[in-house]
Amino acid sequence: MFRTLTTLLMACATLFVHPFAQAETTPGQKAVLVTGASSGLGRVMAETLAAKGHFVYAGARKDADLAELDAIENIQAVRLDVNQQDQIDAAVKTIREAGRGLYGLVNNAGVVVVSPLIEIDDEDFHFQMNVNIYGVYRITKAFAPLIIESKGRISVIGSISGTLSDATWGPYSMTKHAMEAYADALADEMKQFDVSVSLIEPGAYRSSIGKSALDRMEKQNQSAADSPFEKQINENINWLNHFEKDAGDPTEVAEVVMKSLFDDHPKLRYMIFPNQEQAYWTINRAIERMVEQNSDQKFSYDRAKLIEMLDAALAKQAGKRP
């Protein structure tokens, strides 16, 4: 009877999160929380970390996704909607009481809304900001004590949209621009605790974010009809429809996340592209913005000084490499 009861309890453990279960620690194994791990980039990150022998707390919202994640070795699913403070608090309790600590936090959960800034309705705008900005803020604030205790790492998934922005992508780009400032400030705050912060800035890599955006538009019966931005909206909808086919391999992003978590000298920024074209767009736009900021202001620098400053920045970056 005792053996039967034990077997039953072990079977239940594969279906439910046990906040009071004590962890069995494997030497060298690090515990990492990945938000938005049900699909796309987050799922690949979680599986990659687990395959490397680390223990992953995989955040997801739906029962089916939680069950799938729980079936993977070295992964424990946790019900975690980044917009629900009660779920965040419960996840903190679960992880703390498991006894492994928490070495890494990967803020991956994100959504995209395609809409002109002068047409987007309040519900969609709040949805975009709530997940991509407030979600990162809530999760990091809640788990910071655990990360500080382990002198661990925090990785924030940004985007090249933190540099690029154009018509109908404004709401999404706003959130990724925000992550640029967030990562800079957070890194400066956390260094006194020996915690490293990295911002991962991928180009277009395969994920479920495009499909989710289109599903939301269809569910809400949204269309470009009668909008002065109809051409741009339809072009971007078409791009999202082909996103999975044309985008890069998400394992490349997962490998960069691994570097941010486990390299001896992690960088503040990791920008990664699937092709040269996206690299050119992004770096060139950053240079254009610098030129725009420098132009026609009281303390503008001439070309020689700008090149001197660029050379100094390149030398500083080279000096940071191990």
Read off the pTM: 0.88
> What is the chain's pLDDT, residue by residue, as a tens digit (322 residues)?
334 434 433 333 333 333 334 455 576 799 999 999 999 999 999 999 999 999 999 999 999 999 999 999 999 999 999 999 999 999 999 999 999 999 999 999 999 999 999 999 999 999 999 999 999 999 999 999 999 999 999 999 999 999 999 999 999 999 999 999 999 999 999 999 999 999 999 999 987 777 777 777 777 777 777 889 888 888 888 877 776 667 899 999 999 999 999 999 999 999 999 999 999 999 999 999 999 999 999 999 999 999 999 999 999 988 877 6
The answer as to whether 235 is a domain residue is yes
How far the first Cα of the chain sits from its last, in Å, is: 58
Q: Would strands 75-79 and 31-34 be described as parallel, antiparallel, or unpaired?
A: unpaired
**Closest C-alpha among 204, 265, 252, 198 to residue 48:** 252
Which residues form the domain of 109? Answer: 25-274
Q: What is the DSSP code (8-state) at residue 34? A: E
Q: How many domains, the chain?
A: 2
d(CA 95, CA 57): 8
d(CA 133, CA 227): 28
CA dihedral of residues 82, 86, 90, 96 (deg, nearest 10): 80
The answer as to whether 7 is a domain residue is no
Residue 175 identity: T
Residues 239 and 281 in one domain: no
Residues 180 and 302 in one domain: no
Residues 191 and 307 in one domain: no
Residues 85 and 105 in one domain: yes
The answer as to whether 292 is a domain residue is yes
The answer as to whether 183 is a domain residue is yes
The answer as to whether 137 is a domain residue is yes
Residues 66 and 194 in one domain: yes
What φ, ψ does residue 190 adopt, rounded to 5°? -85, -15
Residues 182 and 243 in one domain: yes
Residues 288 and 252 in one domain: no
Please tell me the predicted confidence (pLDDT) of residue 200. Answer: 98
Domain with 192 in it: what CATH number?
3.40.50.720
Residues 171 and 197 in one domain: yes
Residues 267 and 290 in one domain: no
The answer as to whether 228 is a domain residue is yes
Marked catalytic residue, from 57, 103, 134, 172: 172
The answer as to whether 20 is a domain residue is no
Residues 191 and 304 in one domain: no
Please tell me the predicted confidence (pLDDT) of residue 244. Answer: 66
Please tell me the predicted confidence (pLDDT) of residue 25. Answer: 56
Long-range contacts of 67-76 (CB under 8 A, 24+ apart): 67/15, 68/38, 69/37, 69/38, 70/14, 70/15, 71/14, 72/46, 72/47, 74/29, 74/49, 74/50, 75/46, 75/47, 75/50, 76/17
**Cβ neighbours around 195 below 10 Å, total:** 20
The reply to whether 205 belongs to the active site is no
Residues 94 and 160 in one domain: yes
SS (H, E, C) 196-238: EEEEEEECCECCCHHHHHHHHHHHCCCCCCCCCCHHHHHHHHH
The answer as to whether 1 is a domain residue is no
Residues 209 and 285 in one domain: no
Whether 135 and 105 have beta carbons less than 8 Å apart is answered as no
Beta bridge partners of 154: 105, 197
**What tokens were used for 217?**
């538009």
